[in-house]
Structure 1
């Protein structure tokens, strides 16, 4: 009697990882995010230290991010084609981290050059930085596919990453606003020297830990169908992009979320909110300290929902809560005046602001973490319908839309501020409060994010990889791996409606059915 594979998810043989492997590999995202944090201050480096024009720099950095997005698919192909004795992912991770570190060192050196050549070299360094960043960041998405395919384990990555990301961004804001800025007298040359060198060292340590985490699973037997994985030519990539509906829907939806997340994290907007609207920039560090635990709890809650209800359900729920929080935050920003937010003598305004800001910012950003894992689901979906393993390319498609969307964050901020008279330089902590700056803050923190997140939520109506569907996909991959030859693999991939079957008998599939279709 032939061995049959029960349709129930518990009968699928999963590739599971040890907890410490997930823990360490998840730090790769923190390793790249710390560069993202540092780059939120580059606008001040370019204008205050290098003497470049604020509006021009904001547009330039936006266009460079768009360029970065378009080179990402090439990086994806590079990852998919990489096959060395050191694995697929580890060499790319190391290369990306080294290139990104070099770009910051080169940027520090621009202040010693003539002003006439600073702009073109600044552009070149931005491009180098984006290439290195994309190489390492893509591994975060691509490597998860090989690390584990257990739907109960994958959200653990989001839990750890949520904690690490929250600690990273809030901790850095506390240290920068409370220690570095006062000690260096603002965003000076010495400030950026300490910031960049610290970022390079911390990122390198986190990258090494991530390499240890992926070491065992960076092996061909964990890539797709193993030896039965279908070869992919360059012309096949367009077929995948064109035909993979979940990839198209989620990549665009996630891009909208990333855009909003970039707005909230931009250093200029932080200065406008705390330094001008509330009149005390040090509040940004103090609030960040208080927001560490709530931020972690929001991310843990989203990941726990994903473990119980599936990633799609958690993604949609987080968007809904985020929009609700931002609508509530609008009330407090309209009432805001310098001195109203106080952490020394708590009042109803401070409590209300704290609650709505936590929900609005962290719930609306939670889907960005979930997407890192949902990309692995889409890679498995592609394997189940074509037999191909394209973790690199699929990961970089997200980077493409992510880069294009996030590129609009500094551009939008630049245009809004230029509209109220800040076209040559950005507002600083010394800038006086005004109604125009207050309305600009509300537009950037409430109006634009709510509209954008609503579009993201609408798109998720067309994303069908819910918990039940992913169980069917993993079962199908399990059956494909059990097939004896590649023809049977493709027959299973193309012809078997598993959603209508209780059992799958591998030897009953007919290759001639595949040929006819």
Structure 2
């Protein structure tokens, strides 16, 4: 242990090695791989399995709400877990196994007879949600044991953002430029190849995250060094009611998540690139081009967070996102032909689109990532306020509201495109660009994220855990822990 690390721990902080932070962030990437693959479920369920657009959108929304209901159960299990493998590792590993099984079952529903198809889709999707909730809950809850140093916690966001940018960029290129060309469209062959890669890669990343948290998943890093805290299901409401920072955080995070989720939904990518710009393969090309600007936004944001605090970073980043996408909306309303930004004649319009879109996408990646370590701050505040270490419950409270709001993404898109006449299927690559489709594309692709960021900014006005406050909280927890040991 070097002197710097010893000083940190003597000042009431425990730290992690850089590789531990970087590899544990793979746990979130492992679940985001499934999230990315699930973005194509609408095309599989409607185009291969034969379900209607509105039916699929409604089911996805209802099941997302069910996803929120599972959070209190999983959070309760995490807080009660006591094993030789720790509190968090068993839950994350079992969750990934359930994810793999559910995905294999779900993408075979085209073999199910029509009468049972709807029920089969609901059941397999419910199993998927249970596994997803188990693994994602660990990502948030285990932040408390990974590190509590204010200069280290934001580092998770760097790794998480880099991984997510790489995942969604490479994934979009892989699907739009390779799989669609190879299989002709969103066919069964495409889904088999995509999902085989998703299940395998997610499993490998989960194992790496499992190893990374191994040394930190121990009693001495649990709050006031307690192994477990007495909790009941009826404690959820009093905890949320008494923890104002968590209230504001879930509002801010869920609207940021909604903004990010809407931007990455495949129907939106089809509408923006396949119809508005007239070249769906461009979605992968643009995603590749904006990697560096997006990473720059992330690195600058995390560097700023290590000095100014995560709250201030979240607010300022959200404002940047608002300005960029409002300007991008105005840009497409002013130009006579939106397709001139599609690289066929690279000029000023293309540059304007790339710059503004890169900034918005970068913010859309940074803000959800910066929120994850902020959950640990809210959990530490609960320990400071009540003396209870309940990271599972705090994660569950966050996830419950976050998922209820972010669940609006597929339904919102489905009902909005249905409003302009797309009731049987989503807009398809090559559809003519009508005025109604133009305005709806701008509303969904840019307007919805702007609304989400504005709500997040308002919520952060009532979030009190700035850098100075967290210093006081960690000092108090360290003092109480030292009293308990002596």
TM-score, length-scaled by structure 2: 0.95
Higher Cα Rg: structure 1 or 2?
A: 1
Aligned residue number for residue 43 of structure 1: 42
Q: Does the CA contact (< 8 Å) of 1:274 and 1:283 recur in 2?
A: yes
Aligned residue number for residue 111 of structure 1: 110
Aligned residue number for residue 190 of structure 2: 191
What pairs up with 1:296-375 in 2 under 5 angstroms? Answer: 296-334=295-333, 335=335, 337=337, 339-343=339-343, 345-375=345-375
For 1:483 and 1:123, the matched residues in 2 are separated by 51
Moved more, 339-348 or 145-154: 339-348
Aligned residue number for residue 288 of structure 2: 289
How large is the RMSD of aligned CA atoms in angstroms? 1.7
Judging changes above 3 Å, is the alpha-carbon distance between structure 1 residues 336 and 317 closer, same or farther for their aligned structure 2 residues?
Answer: farther
Encode CA deviations 1:394-434: one digit per residue, 9 max, x unaligned: 11222111211111111111111111110111111132222
Q: Using the TM superposition, give the Cα deviation of residue 344 of structure 1 relative to its aligned residue in structure 2, in angstroms.
A: 5.3
Aligned residue number for residue 148 of structure 1: 147
For 2:430 and 2:290, the matched residues in 1 are separated by 25
For 2:160 and 2:109, the matched residues in 1 are separated by 34
Moved more, 143-152 or 438-447: 438-447
Aligned residue number for residue 276 of structure 2: 277
Q: Does the CA contact (< 8 Å) of 1:230 and 1:387 recur in 2?
A: no
For 1:133 and 1:291, the matched residues in 2 are separated by 29
Q: Using the TM superposition, give the Cα deviation of residue 231 of structure 1 relative to its aligned residue in structure 2, in angstroms.
A: 3.4
Aligned residue number for residue 463 of structure 1: 463
What pairs up with 1:44-123 in 2 under 5 angstroms? Answer: 44-123=43-122
Q: Using the TM superposition, give the Cα deviation of residue 56 of structure 1 relative to its aligned residue in structure 2, in angstroms.
A: 1.3
Q: Does the CA contact (< 8 Å) of 2:54 and 2:424 recur in 1?
A: yes
Aligned residue number for residue 29 of structure 2: 30
Unaligned regions of 5+ residues in structure 2, if any? Answer: 1-6
For 2:229 and 2:54, the matched residues in 1 are separated by 48
For 2:454 and 2:433, the matched residues in 1 are separated by 31
Aligned residue number for residue 4 of structure 2: none
Q: Using the TM superposition, give the Cα deviation of residue 333 of structure 1 relative to its aligned residue in structure 2, in angstroms.
A: 2.3
Aligned residue number for residue 258 of structure 2: 259
Matched, 1:17 2:16: yes
Judging changes above 3 Å, is the alpha-carbon distance between structure 1 residues 227 and 278 closer, same or farther for their aligned structure 2 residues?
Answer: closer
Moved more, 152-161 or 344-353: 344-353
Q: Does the CA contact (< 8 Å) of 1:277 and 1:336 recur in 2?
A: no
For 1:230 and 1:63, the matched residues in 2 are separated by 32
Q: Using the TM superposition, give the Cα deviation of residue 12 of structure 1 relative to its aligned residue in structure 2, in angstroms.
A: 1.8
Encode CA deviations 1:337-390: one digit per residue, 9 max, x unaligned: 363123354211110011111122321442110111000001111111111111
Q: Does the CA contact (< 8 Å) of 2:28 and 2:160 recur in 1?
A: yes
Q: Does the CA contact (< 8 Å) of 1:258 and 1:365 recur in 2?
A: no
For 1:471 and 1:129, the matched residues in 2 are separated by 39
Judging changes above 3 Å, is the alpha-carbon distance between structure 1 residues 162 and 460 closer, same or farther for their aligned structure 2 residues?
Answer: same
Aligned residue number for residue 166 of structure 1: 165
What pairs up with 1:377-416 in 2 under 5 angstroms? Answer: 377-416=377-416
**Number of equivalenced pairs:** 479
Moved more, 136-145 or 432-441: 432-441
TM-score, length-scaled by structure 1: 0.90
Q: Using the TM superposition, give the Cα deviation of residue 447 of structure 1 relative to its aligned residue in structure 2, in angstroms.
A: 2.6
Q: Using the TM superposition, give the Cα deviation of residue 240 of structure 1 relative to its aligned residue in structure 2, in angstroms.
A: 1.2
Judging changes above 3 Å, is the alpha-carbon distance between structure 1 residues 279 and 228 closer, same or farther for their aligned structure 2 residues?
Answer: closer
Q: Using the TM superposition, give the Cα deviation of residue 11 of structure 1 relative to its aligned residue in structure 2, in angstroms.
A: 6.1
Q: Does the CA contact (< 8 Å) of 2:165 and 2:365 recur in 1?
A: no
Aligned residue number for residue 3 of structure 2: none
Encode CA deviations 1:160-219: one digit per residue, 9 max, x unaligned: 111001000001001111100010111001111111111000100110000010000111
Q: Does the CA contact (< 8 Å) of 1:278 and 1:336 recur in 2?
A: no
Moved more, 333-342 or 20-29: 333-342
Other structure's SS at 2:194 match: helix
Q: Does the CA contact (< 8 Å) of 1:277 and 1:337 recur in 2?
A: no
Aligned residue number for residue 221 of structure 2: 222
For 1:318 and 1:275, the matched residues in 2 are separated by 29
For 2:132 and 2:114, the matched residues in 1 are separated by 27
Aligned residue number for residue 448 of structure 2: 448
Matched, 1:203 2:202: yes
